[in-house]
Amino acid sequence: RSTLFPYTTLFRSLIPSNKNAGLVFDWQQGQGKALVAGDVKVIKVWNAATEVCTNDIPARSSSCITSLTSDQVAGQIFIAGFGDGCIRVFDQRQNPRTAMVKIWRDHKQWITNVHMQRGGVRELVSGSRNGEVKLWDLRNDQPVATINAMGTSGATLRSLSVHEHAPVLAVGTDKHEVRSFNVNGDPLGIYEPVSGMLRSKKTPIVATAYHPHRMLLAC
């Protein structure tokens, strides 16, 4: 049991499935709230100070939630990616039953990650396992741009990270590669984090993370 959130309550509501997303989490520093989801039909909003679940927002989908991201400025809007490729936008100010305010179905495969940039121009970026990376404007029904991050390599996109202040993003693949792009879709480079005898093409890059201010990437 965590001292902040009684996760045992959440875990009892997990939905059995052949492919699980596990626990999906997004922290809202400004409001002191945590968004928690995963293999469940609801997104739980926890207040860290009171250790109370303040809201249960229906996910409006039978698929698992694979990723969460939120507006860190106002903290009311958050976005969820789903296992069936859908992306849903929710507004916490609405009644939980009507909190879903937009849905996009442009992705056709499992959403690896969605990320709303906290600085810069606050881009919303999503990536699916087939290598499609899309940039979104919350006001529009269609993506602003689509990047084919895998090219013709046939690799699977296993991770997606976006720099918080610079217009760049990086993806990790199941072929032990990291590919970086700018938000215009221009490739910036392809490299392998480990080379030589330690390298293994069977080792996927499953996690990447940018430094919040510097142009450094961990993977």
Give the torsion through C-alpha atoms of 16, 63, 11, 115, to 10 deg. Answer: 140
The predicted structure's pLDDT at residue 198: 58
- Name the pTM for this structure: 0.86
Residue linked to tokens 């330690």: 198
The predicted structure's pLDDT at residue 63: 93
The predicted structure's pLDDT at residue 160: 97
For residues 99 and 203, give the distance between their C-alpha atoms in angstroms, rounded to a whole number: 40
The predicted structure's pLDDT at residue 85: 96
The predicted structure's pLDDT at residue 30: 82
What does the pLDDT profile of the chain (219 residues) look like in tens digits?
444 454 444 434 444 445 788 899 999 888 899 999 999 899 999 998 998 999 999 999 999 999 999 988 777 899 999 999 999 999 999 999 999 999 999 999 999 999 998 866 667 999 999 999 999 999 899 999 999 999 888 899 999 999 998 999 999 999 989 999 999 999 999 988 876 665 566 789 999 999 989 999 999
For residues 75 and 50, give the distance between their C-alpha atoms in angstroms, rounded to a whole number: 18
For residues 199 and 186, give the distance between their C-alpha atoms in angstroms, rounded to a whole number: 27
